[in-house]
Structure 1
Amino acid sequence: MTKEAGEAAWARARTSREGKDHETRTRLLSCAEDVFAANGYTPATIADITQAAHVSRASFYLYFTSKADIFHAVASAVRDEFLAAHEVPGVDENDPVALGRASSAAFLAAYAQHLDLLTVIEHQALADPAIAAIWTEIQERPRRRVIRYVERLTAAGQADPAADAEAVADAVLGMFAQFARHRITDPVRFENTVDTLNAMYLRLLGIDARRA
């Protein structure tokens, strides 16, 4: 075998190994979310996670150092996904009706998907400063984003909000969270709920959807 062929074979093997490593880590994270969401943080064990993921305890320690470590990774991943729900590429931010509907749908889906785990994260934030920082981001970054958006629309004369921007942001996010607790799985009901949320959102902003 030539040197070049040997290097190519080594590169393929490394790529394959990296792919399997990524797959195993992803499976561990997914199963860990299910375990923590179902059992809570304290009762959950590494054995529960490895059993659900069909991997050995030794394999677990190739990727994570402890239960706390994988919980932090799970919470971080949920935070990233949750915050990404507030980014709606392809939607004109100057169109509050379209943006409101897209944001309502994304937020409702993300919140409902991770509802049980969010409760666990909130509880664990009381005891773990690192998780508390993640929980603060989940709560505050969307809130600040809504505040800035309401202020921008108001300054541009596009909105006449029912209250100050902070109060509107609190009302909007609280409303979304409450509706997410219904765990809507029926597609038609989901779309109807999004329409309802968007109508309420626009009313809070003082925007007439028929004229926007």
Structure 2
Amino acid sequence: MTPRQQQAWAARTEHDRRDARTRALLLAAAGRVFARHGYGPATIAGITTEAGLSRAAFYVYFASKAEVFRVLAVQVRDAFLAAQEVPGTDPDDPYAVARASTGAFIAAYAEHLPLLALFEQQALCDHEVRELWTEIESRPLRRHARYVRRLVKDGRADPVVEPLALARAVGAMSTTWARLVAADPDVYEDAVRDVTTMHLHLLRVTPRDGSEPPDGSEAPPAPRAPRPDAPRSRPG
């Protein structure tokens, strides 16, 4: 590669990085504006003012308010799917997986709570948002149910109800406790401990060494976004 080609490549890379930062600023600002005002009253002008950018900058990345809203819905969907990918957790340890995935789900739900009601409402009139909302609701449940079926097949669990029903019950408990965490972040560890304990009781996991199963008393730390290259385990 010639020096001139190297300079052109470096300039393009730096431009791409600026693009990524600007787009991220607009998305973060849009999330705050939608959460604060709702979908209808939110405006592109309000989003750009919140981001400290020009209206022209907005249209470089998004064609409309509806488009940026859909992109936010995609981000939230991906956050809930990522909540079931627990990096650094032994996939053969159902206790660790239950604690880590419960903690990640509660954290994700509490973080995105202001937008979730808007997504559900907008899904009534926007088929693209409706498809995303359906994924937010159903894909984590299906993945969790598959994980439980695998535990049953391996002789590791004897759930008190069929796997999809168990996934729905744990999901409902997690969302209920996540609302408490959204109102008071200090209860996060207690919420994760309580939901994990109930989750393990519903699973009736069989310890491989014959020991008593843990009660979920130690909640994991509030999860961080996983690195793209991090090894991941998931309940499904």
| Higher RCO, 1 vs 2 (CA within 8 Å, ≥6 residues apart) | 2
Give the drift of 1:185: 1.8
Name the CA distance, whole Å, in 1 between partners of 2:51 and 2:39. Answer: 17
Aligned residues: 208
Which residue identity lines up with residue 157 of structure 1 in the other structure?
G
For normalisation by structure 1, the TM-score amounts to 0.92
More moved, 75-84 vs 61-70: 75-84
Q: Is the 8 A contact 2:86 2:97 kept in 1?
A: yes
Give the drift of 1:150: 1.6
Which of 93, 107, 110 is residue 109 of structure 1 equivalent to? 107
Name the CA distance, whole Å, in 1 between partners of 2:59 and 2:96. Answer: 46
Q: Is the 8 A contact 2:80 2:140 kept in 1?
A: no
- Pairs within 5 Å for 1:38-53: 38-53=36-51
Which of 153, 156, 162 is residue 154 of structure 2 equivalent to? 156
- Which ranges of structure 2 fall in alignment gaps of 5 or more residues? 214-236
Which residue identity lines up with residue 166 of structure 1 in the other structure?
L
- Pairs within 5 Å for 1:57-96: 57-96=55-94
Which residue identity lines up with residue 126 of structure 2 in the other structure?
D
Name the CA distance, whole Å, in 1 between partners of 2:141 and 2:7. Answer: 51
Which residue identity lines up with residue 185 of structure 1 in the other structure?
P
- Equivalent position SS for 1:114: helix
Which of 22, 29, 32 is residue 30 of structure 2 equivalent to? 32
Superposed CA deviations along residues 29-55 of structure 1, whole A, max 9, x for unmatched, are 111111111111111110110000011
More moved, 69-78 vs 4-13: 4-13
For normalisation by structure 2, the TM-score amounts to 0.83
- Equivalent position SS for 1:181: helix
Name the CA distance, whole Å, in 1 between partners of 2:3 and 2:148. Answer: 60
Which of 177, 195, 200 is residue 197 of structure 1 equivalent to? 195
Could you say which residue in structure 2 is the equivalent of 1:17?
15
Name the CA distance, whole Å, in 2 between partners of 1:15 and 1:156. Answer: 48
Displacement over 4 Å in runs of 4+:
none
Query: RMSD of the TM alignment (CA)?
Result: 1.7
Could you say which residue in structure 1 is the equivalent of 2:212?
211
